[in-house]
Amino acid sequence: MKKYGLIILNNEIHDKWHSWIEDTSVNLVGIHPRGGGHAVSSLNETLHFIETEEGKSFLNKLKEKGYDVEYEYHALSWMLKRESQSINENWQRTDENGKKANDYNMCVSCGEALEVVEERAYELASKLVPTNGKYYMWQDDCENKKCFCDKCSGLSSSDQALIIANTMLKGIKKFNPDAKLCYLAYKDTLEVPKKVEPEDGIFLEFAPMDRDYSAPINAPDNEVNKMHIEKMDKLLEFFGTKDSTALEYWIDNSFYSDFKKPAKKFIFNEEIAKADIEFYNSRGFEKITTFAGYFDMDYVKMYGEPPVRQYANIKIKD
């Protein structure tokens, strides 16, 4: 069965989500930290939330009703404990000016740093356990922040991202030998890796955040979306369609509110979402999801029920 779902923020969880998706096409719910540029603290909040009575109750209700539950999050800074500002300088990436930078990502040629990533991936895998063995641990949320040291400079952002993903998967498999992990194709990792091959268990997650949402992704006269399709097709050829995931933003009010609260009233373009879903199905994606941020109880009080049901009721072909 194809998976059709939505990704909600851990600090916006409330019981109305159950009624919004009940008896719809949705069969998967992902949990994402609150975001806002605080990857480490928000991931820690998620780890805390799932251990609270509220978190356990919400997740157990989903599982009891047969929904897959997953976790999707930017994990690398948490793994490297970047917030301490005291991580080993050798772990840090070298910027384009030849200076060490403790801001994003890492030096993927540093064996010690990779060992830490592998160890911490095991730790996270044992804490945020999906129901289906599919993990979505991502590198840092940034663009053009690869390592430019002598050993890494010949590797593209995509190559470096895949090295990180391969390393995370090694750690995850120590917890669950059958687990799988996504390669997040997003911003400057939409290009196919050239010098690195995926380990067995790596699958594609395609997240075209910078596409044009005023038109279907396959609109023939839209050059921005055409470029994203060209990249997508090359990625599918490289990674294959097995376990492939399309991660979209059709009902992500955080995206449409420019990641600022109070949230705007959200207008759902169902026609574009339906066209996109049909297209992703035609390309062989096995899972189709969308972020669904900024639909907390404050939103409900201001605007009423958001259009989650409209999205959730779209029929997806097996």
Residue numbers in the chain where pLDDT is lower than 70: 36-37, 84-86
Give the model's pLDDT for residue 145: 96
Residue 222 lies in a domain: no
Is the distance from CB of 50 to CB of 59 less than 8 angstroms? Answer: yes
Burial degree of 81 (CB within 10 A; 0-12, 13-18, 19+):
middle
Whether residues 132 and 152 fall in one domain: yes
CATH of the domain at 152: 3.20.20.80
- Residue 105 sits in the same domain as residue 237: yes
- Look at residues 247, 266, 271 and name the one whose alpha carbon lies nearest to residue 256: 266
- Do 85 and 184 lie in one domain? The reply is yes
Tell me if 184 is assigned to some domain: yes
User: 26-78: per-residue pLDDT in tens?
Assistant: 999 999 998 766 889 999 999 999 999 999 999 999 999 999 999 999 999 99
Note whether 84 and 197 are same-domain residues: yes
Same-domain status, 173 and 239:
yes
pLDDT (0 to 100) of residue 315: 86
Q: Quote the pLDDT of residue 195.
A: 98
Tell me if 116 is assigned to some domain.
yes
3-class secondary structure, 150: coil
239 and 94 together in one domain: yes
Are 34 and 170 in a shared domain?
Answer: no
Per-residue model confidence (pLDDT) at position 27: 97
What pLDDT is recorded for position 87?
A: 77
Tell me what pLDDT residue 86 has.
Answer: 64
Q: Evaluate whether residue 283 is within a structural domain.
A: no
Structural domains in the chain (count): 2
Q: What is the pLDDT of residues 140-180, one digit of tens each?
A: 999 999 999 999 999 999 999 999 999 999 999 999 999 99
**DSSP secondary structure letter of residue 21:** H
Asked if the structure places residue 214 within a domain, the reply is: no
Residues 204, 268, single domain; the answer is: no
Note the pLDDT of residue 36: 62
pLDDT at 160: 98
Outline where DSSP puts E strands in the chain.
3-9, 28-32, 68-74, 93-94, 100-101, 134-138, 180-185, 202-206, 245-248, 287-291
Residues 65 and 81 in one domain: no
**HSE on the CB side for 19, CA within 13 Å?**
5
**Residues 92 and 201 reside in one and the same domain:** yes
Q: Domain of 271?
A: 1-74+250-275+288-318
Cα(135)–Cα(47) distance, rounded to whole angstroms?
15
Is 149 part of a structural domain of the chain?
Answer: yes
Q: Which of helix, strand or coil describes residue 137?
A: strand
Residues 196, 88, single domain; the answer is yes
Tell me whether residue 298 is in a domain: yes
CA 125 to chain centre: 15
| Same-domain pairing of 66 and 82 | no
Q: What integer pLDDT is reported at residue 83 of this predicted model?
A: 76
Q: What is the pLDDT of residue 37?
A: 64
295 lies in some domain: yes
